[in-house]
Structure formats: structure tokens, C-alpha cells
Amino acid sequence: MKRRPELDYMNAIACLLVILIHVLSVGIVEADPASWQAAAIYFPWRLAAFVVPMFLYTAAVKLAQQYGGADLSPGMYLRYVLRRLQKIYVPYVLWVLLYYAYYIRRGYVAGNLRELLSYIWIGNLSSPFYFVIIIMQFYLLMPLWVWLLRRVPACVGMGAGLFVTLCMFQAGAFASHFGVTLQYTDRCCLTYSVFWVAGLYAGKYYDRLLPVLRERWTWIFSGAAVGLYGIFFYLQYANNITLYGTSGIKTAADLLSILLVHAVGLRLAACGGFVTRLLRGVYKYSFSVYLCHCLFLTALEAHLPRLGITRLSAVLSIRALVCYTLPFLLCWLLGKVRRVFQKT
């Protein structure tokens, strides 16, 4: 499979934006929605909310380019799943154990095996963990995606993916009419099927997609649409109103945001320079940082009030400073230790 550095840059950007979302989240709760401070916090927070769909999109692109034309055998599928368990699920479980140990010390959890296993299975011990549950479902369904790429035209596959996603948005309300409560639909891969399927066909027809991403109108249209989406949601936030059916709008905005960042990634890959070197470094540790950065935020939330630091501007600054440095330093050190043990 040909190396696509722009996909790595997209994942690195997504990692940085995930941190931004969690850093700013306290401001969404505490700032006056009608204030300019809230607007300054809300817009980047809202516009960054496409990052998990983009992680799924880039993973699907890579799957399609590596296996889209392969004759899939049981052995190939087994090796694929085992590699994903090793690279994705095992680190996730280890970080859940570390979070859980810290939460026991803080008195946040009961501290029993059944509870721990539930957190591992559902992915709800910390906000980033649900992504692992979702993407592992997609990985386990790998034979379906290979079949889809071979047998189903892009227009049909994309239409089906969008239809399933929109149906999942209403699944809870529909089930409630029959006295059934659906939990954790946000952890079901079907909810995100449109992003995964979009990535599959983008990977299959990558050479046809590249000229579209390089067109100026792609940047203009996507940027303008995403900007209007941000304004639309901010007006709801500032006026404390919620319009019906906003999930569909967010889905469209997420797809356009992914398209825009993909175009940015291509431009960066063509230009090179300091930014690309920085993003390559971020990408190297992106998954580990994704998993661990909220542990630093939890520690800050426990200790900053004790230090008398409650002013929102100071809290946000410290949260950003810590989360954009210490998780990367920790993952770098863990990587050094792992390489030492591998050599022995």
C-alpha cells in the first residue's frame, strides 16, 4: 500500500483537536452563553467536533487501499484482527486500568471487578474511550467492507451508509414507542456508518478524489458551509434553544469538515516544512495521547480548586499548557522504555 502522509497529518490534526475539545469543555459549562468569552470558546469547540468521524474516515481509507482488492482468506482476516487488537484494544485496556486505579484513589468508582469489566466493555470510563469500542466493531466487520467495495457501487453504498446513520439517530425514539430503551447507541458502529463508508470509497477511488480536493471551490464551499454550521449552532447555544433534527446537519458538516481537512493534509504533504515535521511527531504518539490526556485533565480538576485557581481564563490556560505537553512527554518516555525492553 502506498504511503499517504496526508492521512497521517489528518490523524495528527484530529488528535490536537480532541485535546482542544476537552480543554475547552469546562468553558462551555461555566461561561455565560451570551458573552463574547463564551463565543470565543464555543466556536472552536463546536467546529472541532468532527474529529472522531475523521479518525474513522482515515482508518477506512487505509483499509480500502490495503485490502479493497485482496482475496480475503480466514487467515488474512485473523491476522488483521489480531494486529488491531494488539495496536488498539490492548493499549486501551491498559489505559482503562490506569484510569480506574486513579479513580479508585480519588473515590470516583466503587472498585470492583464487575464495574471495571463494564467500563472496559462499554468504553464509558472516560470520554475518549468510546472511539475504541466503535472502531473495533468496524475492524471486526472487515469482510463486509471488502465485499462492499467489490460488489456495491459507491452511490449505493454511500446512500445506504447515510440512511443507516440517520436511522440510528431516531432509533432510541422509535424503540421507546414499544417500551424498549436503547442505551449506548453512540457506541454502536452503525451510528457512524456514513463516515466509515465514505472513507472506504475514498480509499477505493483515491486517485479520482485527489483532483477534487485540490480544487479551490472545495476549500471555499466546505469552509463556508462549516462556518454557517458553527453560527447556526452558536445561536442555539447562546439563546438556549434546540431545533429538531440537528443531528443530520451535524453529519453533513462533519463530512464537509473531513473533506476540508483532507484537502489541507494534501497541501501540507506537498509543501513540507516545519508544520509537517511537527505533525509527524504528533502522529507518532497520537493514539496514546488520545487515550491518556483526559487523565491529566481529571487530575487538574481535582487540584486546581485546592490551589485557589478558579478564574476561567487561568483554568483554560493551564489545561491547555498541561494537555499539549505532558501527555506527549509521557508517551515519548513510555516509547523509550518499550524500545529498551524490546532490545533486551
The whole-angstrom separation of Cα 195 and Cα 15 is 17
Q: Is the pLDDT of residue 243 over 80?
A: no
The pLDDT of residue 245: 67
142-195 pLDDT tens trace: 999 999 999 999 999 999 999 999 999 888 887 877 877 778 888 999 999 999
The whole-angstrom separation of Cα 196 and Cα 206 is 15
Residue 77 CA to its chain's centroid (Å) = 25
Kindly indicate the confidence band of residue 234, based on its pLDDT and cuts at 50, 70 and 90: very high
The whole-angstrom separation of Cα 152 and Cα 193 is 15
> Which three cell numbers mark 158?
454511500
The pLDDT of residue 18: 97
218-233 pLDDT tens trace: 899 999 999 999 999 9
Q: Specify the DSSP class assigned to residue 33.
A: T
Q: Which of 194, 184, 198, 290 is nearest to 247 (CA)?
A: 194
184: left (phi over 0), alpha (psi -120 to 50) or beta: left
Contact 138, 59 (CB under 8 A): yes
Question: Cell numbers 496514546 label which residue?
Answer: 288
Q: Is 241 exposed, middle or buried (0-12, 13-18, 19+ CB in 10 A)?
A: exposed
Q: Is the pLDDT of residue 80 over 70?
A: yes
Read off φ and ψ for residue 130, nearest 5 degrees.
Answer: -65, -25
Kindly indicate the confidence band of residue 46, based on its pLDDT and cuts at 50, 70 and 90: very high
Determine the longest span between alpha carbons in the chain, in angstroms: 62
pTM of the complete model: 0.94
